Amino acid sequence: MSFFDAIIISGIFLLLAGVITAVVVYYQKIDIRKALEKKGAKNIRISWQPIDFDKSNHTYAVEYEDMEGNLQSKSCKVHIWSSSIYWED
C-alpha cells in the first residue's frame, strides 16, 4: 500500500465517521425534543457541543419555554449507545 492509498483510506474513514456522527446527533436531537414536548415545552432550541471530553455521551445545550412561558437554559448528555438522556441543572 502506498502513502497515497493510505491517505485516501484515511480520508474515507474520516468522512464516514463524520456522516455517522451527524446521523446520530440528528436522531438524538429528535429524542431531546420529544422529551421536552411531553413536558409542554415550546420554542425548543438544541445545539450539540462537540468539544467535550466525555467519551460515552454527547453534550447538548438546550433552550426552551416551559409551560408558564419562562425561558429555560439547560444542558443534557445523551448516551451514545442507549440514547438515555441525562439532564444537568
pLDDT per position as a tens digit, 57-69: 999 999 999 999 9
Read off the C-alpha cell for 41: 415545552
Q: What's the pLDDT tens digit per position in 18-76?
A: 999 999 999 999 999 999 999 999 999 999 998 877 888 999 999 999 999 999 999 99
54 phi and psi angles, rounded to 5 deg: -95, 110
Q: What pLDDT was estimated at residue 89?
A: 67
Higher pLDDT, 86 or 19: 19
**Confidence label for 88 from pLDDT (cuts 50, 70 and 90):** confident
pTM, rounded to two decimals: 0.84
Q: What is the pLDDT of residue 65?
A: 95
- DSSP notation for 42-69: EEEEEEEE-----TTEEEEEEEEE-TTS
